[in-house]
Chains A and B, each alone.
Chain A
Amino acid sequence: KNEVEQSPQNLTAQEGEFITINCSYSVGISALHWLQQHPGGGIVSLFMLSSGKKKHGRLIATINIQEKHSSLHITASHPRDSAVYICAVTPPQGAQKLVFGQGTRLTINP
């Protein structure tokens, strides 16, 4: 079993829908990261969370430390949100090496 599990692996939705991507982890962490990668593109860090909730534009990320679970929400989804979203965690000590989930491929149709 992977230390970081994401669901769903693939998600297709219509423009305007509310999107939720889930991430569960089984190890101790210092922080959880949500990353975005467009097809053939680079990797962009969306959020780093150690507790609570963060919001940036139409994106919201939450984390529940006790349940070892995080969610990434996208409100009013748009075709430009189509990308792979990757959840990753960093351990409590050491060099902050990322442990990655397998990614969620999101497709938003017009």
Chain B
Amino acid sequence: NAGVTQTPKFRVLKTGQSMTLLCAQDMNHEYMYWYRQDPGMGLRLIHYSVGEGTTAKGEVPDGYNVSRLKKQNFLLGLESAAPSQTSVYFCASSYHRDRGLANYGYTFGSGTRLTVV
């Protein structure tokens, strides 16, 4: 099925450990995003990308790095995990170039629940 796939779905890290969250989309979307969702804070944008090889900071980028070496993949890295990064992480994609303005619809992944102890 077409869509956005996130791996892993669950992870527990110790403070100071590193990890990479993988997001893959097969819809040929140009734009990809990483959001985090926390109780009482809603969804907040961490980083985003408007095309292969490009990345940009969102609202809460500190402590995270991203890469988009291939159009279909968007990686989110935590170099040294902190308890404040305990959250649910959602990847999303949007905008199919060949469909013009009519297709800025969003597709979200199923989320990664990360706990840092």
Contacts and interface: CB of A to CB of B under 8 A. Distances in A.
A binds B: yes
Interface of A: 30-31, 33, 35, 41-45, 48, 86, 90, 95-98, 100, 102-103
B50 interface: yes
A47 to B, nearest CB: 9
A96 B107 contact: no
Secondary structure at the B interface, as helix, strand, loop or mixed, is strand
A95 B56 contact: yes
A102 B90 contact: no
A100 B104 CA distance: 16
Contacts of B104: 30-31, 48, 90, 96
B48 A43 contact: no
B110 interface: yes
Nearest to B103: A48
B94 A100 contact: no
Contacts of B95: 96
B41 to A, nearest CB: 10
Contacts of A96: 31, 94-95, 104
Contacts of B109: 42
A51 to B, nearest CB: 12
Contacts of A95: 31, 48, 50, 56
A33 B45 contact: no
Nearest to B56: A95
B45 A97 contact: yes
A102 B105 contact: no
A35 B108 CA distance: 10
Contact of A98 (B43, B50, B101, B110): B43
A90 B31 CA distance: 13
A102 B56 contact: no
Nearest to A94: B50
A44 B108 CA distance: 7
A43 B95 CA distance: 17
Contacts of B106: 33, 35, 45, 48, 98
Q: Point out which of B43, B95, B101 has the most chain A C-beta atoms below 10 A from its C-beta.
A: B43
Given A48-B105, A98-B33, A100-B43, 15 more contacts: A31-B104, A33-B105, A35-B108, A42-B108, A42-B111, A43-B90, A43-B108, A43-B111, A95-B31, A97-B48, A98-B43, A98-B45, A98-B106, A100-B42, A103-B42
